[in-house]
Amino acid sequence: MKDLVRLRTSLSEEIENILNEQVKMEGSSSSKYLAMASWCGEHGFEKSEAFFMTQSDEERKHMLKIFKYIADVGGKSISPEIGNINHEFNSLREVFETALEQEIGVTRSIHRIVEACRKANDYTTEQFIQWFIQEQIEEEYIARRIVELFDVIGEDTPGGLFMIDNAIAQVVYDTGAAAAE
């Protein structure tokens, strides 16, 4: 007797599970960024607060993108339980260093999905997940550039943190597409 539930989807159980774990990770990133927005707002870093509000929104979109994919290919997407969100930070630098670490962790996790897809010969999911690989280049780039601002501008110089907060709004990722034209 074949497993009828499995016949309704081309997704293997292993890939379904790993994708649901990613749904959770993106949802958790969204909540973590919201906590960072809260800390920044509380400490007067207006631009950083806005930055993390936008990031939180983006992570939720990432979560929904995977959530919908699982359902679209006949799998069961799981609405994640998210707990233990840290709201305590010692400095603005620590907030951004934590954000960078988080993005690096997400990149690793996305790469693990690609590995699993290759092992399972799941070319459909591998192609779907490509978008996230590109997205992570941008996410890591921006987080890394912002962390660098703390040294470039200098957080201990008078008005340094104010200047860093303002500079954050200007950090953008240039894909180089314009140069290639």
Q: Is 32 in the site for Fe ion (CB under 5 A)?
A: no
Q: Is 49 in the site for Fe ion (CB under 5 A)?
A: no
Q: Which stretch binds Fe ion (CB under 5 A): 34-42, 75-83, 138-146, 162-170?
A: 138-146
Q: Is 62 in the site for Fe ion (CB under 5 A)?
A: yes
Q: Count CA atoms closer than 13 A to 81's CA, side-chain side.
A: 1
Residue keyed to tokens 């997407």: 77
Q: Is 145 in the site for Fe ion (CB under 5 A)?
A: no
Per-residue x/- track, 96-135, Fe ion (CB under 5 A): ----------------------------------------
# chain residues binding Fe ion, by CB under 5 A: 4
Q: Toward Fe ion, which CB reaches closer, 104 or 153?
A: 104
Contact residues for Fe ion, defined by CB under 5 A: 26, 59, 62, 139
